[in-house]
Amino acid sequence: MAIILRLDRVMADRKMSLKELSEKVGVANVNLSKIKTGKISAIRFSTLNQICKVLECQPGDILEYADDELEN
């Protein structure tokens, strides 16, 4: 996958647990866990907006692009 999710790193920087983030964002713990581990194929902008609002970060802090061709 060319998009790498760094939610775990941002959460660690903010010392925020998955449970706490889930409660503040209003998204199920299971769904945030999938985002955190990168096991998703899409994310709603409204969810990304809430995550960034709660963590006081930019989308680029959570999402990173890596060229697939460089990995081969």
pLDDT in tens, 4-14: 999 999 999 99
User: How confident is the model over 15-49, as pLDDT tens digits?
Assistant: 999 999 999 999 999 999 999 998 998 999 999 99
Write out the E strands in the chain: 3-5, 63-65
pLDDT at 67 > cutoff 90: no
pLDDT at 72 > cutoff 80: no
CB atoms within 10 A of CB 10: 20
b/e per residue, 14-51, with b = 16+ CB within 10 A? eeeebeebbeebebeeeebeebbeeeeeebeeebbebb
Domain architecture of the chain: domains with CATH: 2-66 (1.10.260.40)
Arithmetic mean of pLDDT, 49-70: 92
Please indicate whether residue 71 or residue 44 has the higher confidence score (pLDDT). 44
The confidence score (pLDDT) of residue 2 equals 84
